[in-house]
Amino acid sequence: MHQPDYRVAETGIARMPWVRLHAARSYTDMASVFGWFDVRHTVNFSGVLLSQLEELECGAAHDAWFDLLRKRPEDYDVGERAWAVRNLFAVNRGRAVKPVPRYAQLFEKRGENPHEELFPQIARGFRATELRDLQVLFLLAWCGFAAEQRFPVVRALKKKGRGYSEEDRAALLEVHDACARGVLEAYRALARNHRIEVTVSPFDHPILPLIAGKPVHAPSDAVTALRRAGEIAHRVFGVRPRGVWPSEGSVSPEAVEAIADAGFAFAASDEGVLLKSIEAPRSAIYRPYEYHGVRLVFRDHEISDAIGFRYAQMGTLDAVKDFFRRVEAAPKDGVVFVMLDGENPWEAYDDNGRPFLEALSSSLSGGEGARVCAELIGDAAMRGDAVALKRLHAGSWIDASFRIWTGHAEKNRAWDAVVAARQALMDEEKRRETTETERAQRSEEKRICSRKEASGAGAGADEERWRAAWEHLYRAEGSDWFWWFGDDFDTPFADDFDALFRGHLRAAYRAAGLLVPEALERPIRSAVTRLAVRPPERMISPDMSRDIDGFYDWRGAGLAVAGAATGESGGTMALATRPFELLEFGFDATRLCFRLRTAAKEWRRFSLHMRLRIGASLVEIRLPDDAGPGGVEAHFARTAKWSVRCDDVGWRVGERGAFSVEVVLGEAVVSRFPATGEIELVRASVEKEREDWSA
């Protein structure tokens, strides 16, 4: 389990609420399931998540979103009303909004994906009673099944459905506060009763190979991140963890050396890394290995991702049967390592995953006669002999590479900023050491004075500032900022991640008494990334029936880069293996044509939902269901191609229209073109094209 540090460097106030919200849902739900069944689990925490949960436990956390959720809507100013209408649909819409009549009604009033600048205007149309309902419905959507079972008020307010009072909102906020205070104690109890083993990820969730090697080249930072994670876990749970899940399953020779130096006995990664390290069949993943004195195990990518991404779209019994079918296909003497995100998958499941988790846990706790037995990952990793690895491929769970965190110009700019800040701290540290040495060499008296100063309050304060400088740098080395830079993924909160990242770097400079580079006052993210749309340059002439397109068929077409639907909090999970990246579009003489490129092998599991707006008319097209006679031609083979005859939908030449396209898996929107709003176009004509070329 992991969330980055959402606390603003200068104030300590959480800019985003995801730790507190997950506390009322996935963190509490998972702890409850672990306690209900006689199945032992390995639970992994990042150090920075434990740090934030500690603050919640003692009541010291301050959260900007919850400050506004505690405020009466009647007292909201214009900006706060816009904030509520923009952000309080940040839940899984298919599971949490559409099935709830009042929530769906308010969402319809707001609109699908308004442009950012329209939110103040839209919010003016919401009455205070509607905003209060929105507050309560948002908080209810983030209450998991365990909170609903424990607190009768959650069930009562769900049943009430609308017309909520100030007392209702206050009662629900108390539920969230109680869940937040109780998370760590729930996992402590599980650990004391030997129901779970706790492992850790490096404190601020850095990609270890990128810290120990290129581009940072700081092995000591990697060791520090690991040791700090072990220390906070020991403080919280009273047991020093023996294993580590390196952030995003990322390993390399240098990373494993750091893991060994930090004192961990085992680590885990993904099967893709192993299969690029050795020449062996896939069955080789079902046993432990050893490298540089550290036991290594590799997760079954297919089974882990089936739980994380696919089983939510299946019936519970079918999903559980498929799980055991896959597990039983492994070698009889092998160990199937199943590891996945413990936070985000469940919002896509029915009832936040309760039916599936209960059915799976019940089957795994079947006793001695069971064909499949569950055990702790650490026990399996450390038992018996291990195969010595002569070579270890450097990679993560995503494509056995680090492409998500490096390569794009924005990511590289961010890494350059980290490297520059670290070098500035190193230079300042060296300068201070040199100054102290020169003082000591001048006279014995001055050396004694220097020691006295070092032991005084002034020296202590200076040491605290210096420690803070390095901690802010370590925060900036975390993986999450780099996940959202570039165009791999999109989120409506990308600017918040950018600001938090730069805030930590600025704080590092200031704590060290250094001037802050002016570049850190400007966003890393570029305007091009924010827009991620290029309009058509000319008319196109594609053949929609061919599997393979000609080179010139789509030349000059418009381009749109995929994004997550605004408010979809599951964007990270849904997009982590997103096969849809680029939509091309443009006019020929009679049609608006589309081509959706994909690298997926099983993309036919997805469907497409297109909204086409011409004037006051809205045309909704669902593919492949709406393909055929009636204006929509579609061809699905190596790519998805479809076209709409403009005359059939009443789109005249020269008239302005707009569209959006969503890629849907079950109830979940996994990609959207564009990320927010619509792409506007004016219907082109052959005559206008000729004028442009002859001008």
How confident is the model at residue 568, as a pLDDT?
Answer: 39
Q: Which amino acid is at 503?
A: G
The number of helix segments (H) and strand segments (E) in the chain equals 27, 18
User: How buried is residue 569: exposed, middle or buried, by Cβ count under 10 Å (0-12/13-18/19+)?
Assistant: buried
441: pLDDT strictly greater than 90: no
Identify the band that residue 693 occupies on the pLDDT scale cut at 50, 70 and 90.
Answer: very low
Mean pLDDT of 529-558: 75
Find, among 208, 66, 72, the residue nearest to 127 by Cα.
72
Find, among 117, 122, 113, 133, the residue nearest to 85 by Cα.
122
Instruction: Output the average pLDDT for the chain.
Output: 88
Q: What is the 3-state secondary structure (H, E, C) of 556-619?
A: CCEEEECECCCCCCCHHHHHCCCCEEEEEEEECCCEEEEEEEECCCCHHHCEEEEEEEECCEEE
How confident is the model at residue 688, as a pLDDT?
Answer: 52
For strand 558-561 and strand 580-587, is the pairing parallel, antiparallel, or unpaired?
Answer: antiparallel
From CA 91, how far away is CA 362, in angstroms rounded?
29
Q: At what angle do helices 166-192 and 152-160 cross, to 10 degrees?
A: 140
**DSSP 8-class letter at 344:** S
How confident is the model at residue 276, as a pLDDT?
Answer: 97
How confident is the model at residue 694, as a pLDDT?
Answer: 32
Q: Which range, of 1-10, 351-360, 484-493, averages the lowest pLDDT?
A: 484-493
More confident residue, 114 or 153: 153
527: pLDDT strictly greater than 80: no
Share of the chain above pLDDT 90, in %: 68
pLDDT tens-place string over residues 215-235: 999 999 999 999 999 999 999
How many Å from the N-terminal Cα to the C-terminal Cα in the chain?
A: 60
Task: Please check whether residue 584 is in contact with residue 557, taking contact to mean a CB–CB distance below 8 angstroms.
Answer: yes
pLDDT tens-place string over residues 245-275: 999 999 999 999 999 999 999 999 999 999 9
Torsion (CA) 406, 408, 414, 418 in degrees, nearest 10: 30
How confident is the model at residue 605, as a pLDDT?
Answer: 72
How confident is the model at residue 437, as a pLDDT?
Answer: 67
Burial code of 599-633, b = ≥16 C-beta within 10 A, e = fewer? eeeebeebebbbbbbbeeeebebebeebbeeebbb
From CA 581, how far away is CA 532, in angstroms rounded?
11
Identify the band that residue 473 occupies on the pLDDT scale cut at 50, 70 and 90.
Answer: very high
From CA 126, how far away is CA 566, in angstroms rounded?
19
Burial code of 520-538, b = ≥16 C-beta within 10 A, e = fewer? beebbbeeebeebbeebee
pTM of the model: 0.79
pLDDT tens-place string over residues 129-187: 999 999 999 999 999 999 999 999 999 999 999 999 999 999 999 999 999 999 999 99
User: What distance lies between CA 119 and its chain's CA centroid?
Assistant: 25
pLDDT tens-place string over residues 412-430: 999 999 999 999 999 999 9
Torsion (CA) 335, 336, 340, 346 in degrees, nearest 10: -120
Mean pLDDT of 517-542: 79
Greatest mean pLDDT range, 431-435, 466-470, 488-492, 654-658: 466-470
DSSP 3-state assignment of 267? strand
The Cα-based distances of 390 to 281, 287, 291, 360, 374 in angstroms read: 17, 16, 8, 37, 30
Find, among 210, 253, 245, the residue nearest to 226 by Cα.
245
How confident is the model at residue 214, as a pLDDT?
Answer: 95
For strand 591-598 and strand 640-645, is the pairing parallel, antiparallel, or unpaired?
Answer: antiparallel
Identify the band that residue 616 occupies on the pLDDT scale cut at 50, 70 and 90.
Answer: confident
How confident is the model at residue 579, as a pLDDT?
Answer: 53
DSSP 3-state assignment of 290? strand
Question: Hey, how many other C-beta atoms are within 10 angstroms of the C-beta on 668?
Answer: 23
How confident is the model at residue 604, as a pLDDT?
Answer: 65
From CA 608, how far away is CA 595, in angstroms rounded?
12
Give me 83's structure tokens: 């904030």
- Is the preceding omega at residue 114 within 30 degrees of 0, hence cis? no
Mean pLDDT of 114-132: 90
Greatest mean pLDDT range, 75-89, 355-369, 613-627, 676-690: 75-89
Identify the band that residue 447 occupies on the pLDDT scale cut at 50, 70 and 90.
Answer: very low
DSSP 3-state assignment of 661? strand
Q: Which range, of 64-68, 378-382, 543-547, 576-580, averages the lowest pLDDT?
A: 576-580
How confident is the model at residue 458, as a pLDDT?
Answer: 53
pLDDT tens-place string over residues 573-582: 333 344 566 7
Find, among 597, 569, 567, the residue nearest to 582 by Cα.
597
Identify the band that residue 627 occupies on the pLDDT scale cut at 50, 70 and 90.
Answer: low
How confident is the model at residue 602, as a pLDDT?
Answer: 53
How confident is the model at residue 486, as a pLDDT?
Answer: 87
The Cα-based distances of 661 to 47, 105, 114, 198, 674 in angstroms read: 39, 22, 14, 42, 7
Name residue 122's beta-bridge partners: none
Question: Hey, how many other C-beta atoms are within 10 angstroms of the C-beta on 167?
Answer: 8
